[in-house]
Amino acid sequence: MSIHVTDINKQFGAFRALDNVSLDIPSGQLVALLGPSGCGKTTLLRIIAGLEYADSGRILLDGEDASDRHVRERQVGFVFQHYALFRHMTVFDNVAFGLRVRPKKFRPAEAEIRKRVTRLLDLVQLGWLADRYPSQLSGGQRQRIALARALAVEPKVLLLDEPFGALDAKVRKELRRWLRQLHDEIHVTSVFVTHDQEEALEVSDRVVVINKGKVEQVGTPEEVYDNPATPFVASFLGSVNLFHGRVDGAHLHVGEHALHVGHDHNVTDQAIAFVRPHEFDLLPVDSPEGGLPARILRVISVGPTAQVELARLDGELVEVTISRDALSVLGLREGDNVSLRPRTIRVFQGERLAA
Amino acid sequence: MSASIALQPGALARYETPSTSEPAWIKVTLITVALTFFVIFLLFPLGTVFVQALSKGWGVYLSALTSHDALAAIKLTLITAAIAVPLNVVFGVSAAWAIAKFEFPGKRFLITLIDLPFSISPVVSGLIYVLIFGAQGWFGPWLAEHDIKILFAVPGIVLATIFVTFPFVARELIPLMEAQGAEEEEAAVVLGASGWQVFWHTTLPNIKWGLLYGVILCNARAMGEFGAVSVVSGHIRGLTNTMPLHVEILYNEYNYAAAFAVASLLALLAIVTLGLKTLVERQTRKQISESQKPSES
């Protein structure tokens, strides 16, 4: 089932949680709402679910206006950050709940409920925990049960609010891979909220980047990572180095040095540019290609790549990631002077600066 | 993973080490002071009630309890509690639900208002009803015209008792429900449960021990209330006397053995209440600590 969000506004007192948000989520996709905490992403999810009402705007589910439809009738599955399992019920009863509360004529027979719950528990690979209580489960297990419970009512849309937020790093990684596989199996339109860019980029088909109640960019993980539409997206997805400067034509002037930016830009006095740590070449000082002079402060050579921390002449820090092989070929050490040359540079000028 | 190895949180912290324990003489002094105080001010008076009640033997004791007026007082007390407690349960649960799960203007004010009966003297509570329903009160003439008796009759006693026992259930439930949050209810609604199903299947099981605790306290107060009831009762023997009022009347008539016999019933009620309270308290604490358990494990 597709989801269309049109012109949603939501205000909490003086705080503007959502500012004219519009969004299309095609059927069958797994979409991440990504943004810093307090950006309105959870509010948007709750409005789609019907747990919160928008001040204005519409929610269309499958093309039909669902803005005034009660949560009960929206046929959504919702997974809460803190699981919200019914603590006095066994795992089995938790999963069966949605089927058992149905009005009599829509309620499956108990044998059918048993079959469906068992199948769901197998789907989340926790059939052996059916008789346990939530307090006896680990966080990862609880979240999987919560997911099974949400799926039991065969929702048209699955909404997940920071589903892995309360889990430790290792379990989180396992569980998000598992969520992706599960989605590929059942293909229900899913939206999940996260503030973890790695999670959003790894799991989703499409990423919606939200900041201060506004949608900054919508795109595939590659699009938003490689071609950020706004400075916010550039700085929020992955680590970046920031340069302030002046643009004329194909060059960005940072202090008295010029960097080649690829294609022509308007001439402006103010521009900011982003370069990701792995997009730098380290060259010997005074190399013909030019670049920013900098001094190596620290080299952290652990793992597959080396982290190099440098200081520009004006004292600003720059972070560079290069392969350990390249580092040893160059023979660079702490205290050496080098020239920094970005291979890719993203320049933002004018009104996009303000965004 | 096995449930049997779960450690009681804080179980380790209870072991004493020399660095955290006090010298023996301090312990002994503190315990002696506490025990002396407890014996003089609590145990001794409680014992006196039973000693006095039985001072003229079991025969007098039993006849005091089975006299017509005493039975009427016991019956009235039970009726009053049977009306006031359920009403306050309904009110307390709905107020606690509204306060803990929703945001609305005037919420702080409502919480303060719930505490009102705790903060004003019971005599004043009684007088409020005299002012409203008395012969010179707002509704007095109208009630007299329609031959409805509220003051100096059972309805007045019930009203005064409800007023005085108003806060017990709500006060008990508000912190519990606030600690539990609304997520489970939201989960139930999303899964398609109706309002009643949400209450019955998620809210009630989560608050049942706290609710029972509130009911026990509410009941104890409803049966033991003196001040407010005394003002509105009119002290008509065999008609509008509750047990505490009956005790007072007997005592004023120098009928000590009978007075203490009825009082011993109230004392027994208190002891039973305390026992139940301890049991339920243990369960409530378990429920709260479960609801506050960190979600990761």
For residue B273, what pLDDT is reported? Answer: 85
Count other C-beta atoms under 10 Å from residue B135's C-beta. Answer: 11
CA of B177, closest CA in chain A: separation in Å? Answer: 14
Q: Which residues of B touch A87 (CB under 8 A)?
A: 184, 206, 290-291
End-to-end CA, chain B: 11
Q: What are phi and psi for residue B202, nearest 5 degrees? A: -115, -50
List beta partners, residue A65. A60
Give me the mean pLDDT over the A97-104 stretch.
Answer: 93
Let me know the angle formed at the C-alpha of A237 by A233 and A240, rounded to the nearest 5 degrees.
95
Note which residues in 166-185 of chain B have CB less than 8 A from chain A. 183-184
Q: From B5, which residue of chain A is nearest by alpha-carbon distance?
A: A136
DSSP string, A25-39: E-TT-EEEEE--TTS
Residue type, B295: S
| Partners of residue A120 on adjacent β-strands | none
Residue whose token pair is 């009660």: A70
Amino acid A264 reads: D
Q: What is the ipTM of this complex?
A: 0.82
Structure tokens that stand for B26 in this block: 């301090």
The model's pTM is 0.79
Give the angle A56-A163-B99 at the CA atoms, nearest 5°.
60
What tens digit of pLDDT does each residue of A240-268 get? 888 888 888 788 888 778 887 777 777 77
Non-local (6+) Cβ contacts of B60 within 8 A are B257, B258, B261
Read off the pLDDT of residues B155-198 as tens digits, 9 standing for 90 and up.
899 999 999 999 999 999 999 998 888 889 999 999 999 989 99
What is the per-residue pLDDT across A34-43, written as a single tens digit (0 to 9) for each? 999 889 999 9
Using pLDDT thresholds of 50, 70 and 90, give the confidence band for residue B2.
Answer: very low
Whether A191 contacts A156, CB under 8 Å? no
**Residue in the structure block whose two tokens are 């990631």:** A321
Burial of B240 (0-12, 13-18, 19+ CB in 10 A): buried
Specify the amino acid at residue B48.
Answer: T
Instruction: Return the pLDDT at A351.
Output: 58
Q: B32 vs A291, which has greater pLDDT?
A: B32
Asked if B184 and A86 come within 8 Å (Cβ–Cβ), the reply is yes
Mutate to test the interface with B, among A82, A128, A129, A172 (most CBs of B within 10 A): A82
Confidence class for position B4, pLDDT limits 50, 70, 90: very low
SS3 A3: strand
How many whole angstroms from its chain centre is CA B259? 23
Nearest to A71 by CA among B263, B195, B201: B195
Q: How many helices (H) and strands (E) does chain B have?
A: 15, 0
B197 close to A (CB below 8 A) = yes
Between B278 and B5, residue with greater pLDDT: B278
Please, which residues 85-124 of chain A have a Cβ atom closer than 8 Å to chain B?
85-88, 97-98, 101-102
